[in-house]
Amino acid sequence: MKPAPFDYVRAECLEDAVAVLAEHGDEARILAGGQSLMPMLNMRLVRPEVLVDIGGLPDLARIEDESETVAIGAAVTQGGLADWPDLTSALPVVAAALPHVGHFQTRNRGTVCGSLCHADPSSELPLCLALLEGEVELHSARGVRTVPADDFQRGVLTTAKEPDEVAVRARLPKARDGERFAFLEFQHRHGDFAVVAVAAKRSGDSVSLAVGGVADRPEVCHWDALPGDAVDDALNDLAWALGGSDDIHATARHRRQLVRHLGRQAIEATAAGGAGA
């Protein structure tokens, strides 16, 4: 299908985008890579009055290595981040997850921030944002605010971003010495959305596990200590607590089983080395 008609604004600076959003609110949509928005436009699931293209803004196309975090601008593509030479050392779990985000052809245009704002519950980058307790910087005519991951993604395709706000960058904390990570997912075909995806982080005795594809957003569970003989019970409790449901891709029971199995594999991988080794 073809998109319904809309006006198109090529933003020449961030202020352009903010001004259009201030004027049009939820009648306007930000277009960056378009790999989530364009399918929805083509299927007429969204019919904005105006599209604001920020994909060409050089200021937003930067990956900035800050002291404790990495700031990823709204025009940085998933492929661009995957090619960043410091990715494996700075963000090992993102390096492990990115090859699972769509296909290389969609990663060539799809942006990291776009994926976070689309907020699909089974999508990999929101899972990484949740595990790492990153944050998203939102700009509007009213000002700038920074929203932590746990407050940003609210549910299925729903975030804290107001209609007049544009996500300008995401900040992800860099891996610290001694932290180990792992990422695993089950999908029916390579490049499909995950049925269940898990990302684990170990720091000393403490373990965090983020689970996508089960609840209506990625959820993170922390354990101060998780001895090997406690893992199965902990994951069983988590699998039930996430409250997954049946859909065309998998039953709730299948999802619980995937949480138990992928969760154990990911947690064991962090003990053995994992993506951060």
Partner 1 sequence: MKKLDRNGRHPVRLTLNGMPEEGFAEPRMLLTDFLRHEVGATGTHVACEHGVCGACTVRIDGKAVRACLMLAVQADGAEIETIEGLAEADGSFGPLQQAFHENFALQCGFCTPGFLMSLSEYLEKNPDPTVEEIKVALSGNLCRCTGYHEIINAGLDAAKALRERRQQTD
Spell out, one character per residue from 33 to 72, where the chain touches partner 1: x when CB under 8 A holds, - when not. -xx--xx-xxx------xx-x-x-----------------
Query: Whose CA is closest to 141, among 18, 235, 230, 35?
Result: 18
Identity of the residue, 51 or 96, whose beta carbon is nearer to partner 1 in the bound complex: 51
Residue 230: CB partners within 8 Å, gap ≥ 6? Answer: none
**Long-range CB contacts for residues 8-13, cutoff 8 Å, separation at least 24:** 8/50, 8/51, 8/53, 9/50, 9/51, 9/52, 9/53, 10/53, 10/56, 11/52, 11/53, 11/54, 11/56, 11/57, 12/57, 13/57, 13/59
Tally the C-alpha atoms within 13 A of residue 86's C-alpha that lie toward its C-beta: 11
Euclidean distance between CA atoms 231 and 229, whole angstroms: 6
- Min separation Cβ 99 and partner 1, Å: 8
Spell out, one character per residue from 107 to 146, where the chain touches partner 1: x when CB under 8 A holds, - when not. -xx-------------------------------------
Site for partner 1 in 90-109 (CB under 8 A): 99, 102-106, 108-109
- Kindly determine how many residues on this chain lie close enough to bind partner 1 according to the rule CB under 8 A: 38
> Could you say which of 11, 116, 119, 234 contacts partner 1 (CB under 8 A)?
11
Site for partner 1 in 167-206 (CB under 8 A): 189-191
Identity of the residue, 107 or 161, whose beta carbon is nearer to partner 1 in the bound complex: 107
Residues found near partner 1 in the complex (CB under 8 A): 1-12, 16, 19-20, 34-35, 38-39, 41-43, 50-51, 53, 55, 79, 99, 102-106, 108-109, 189-191
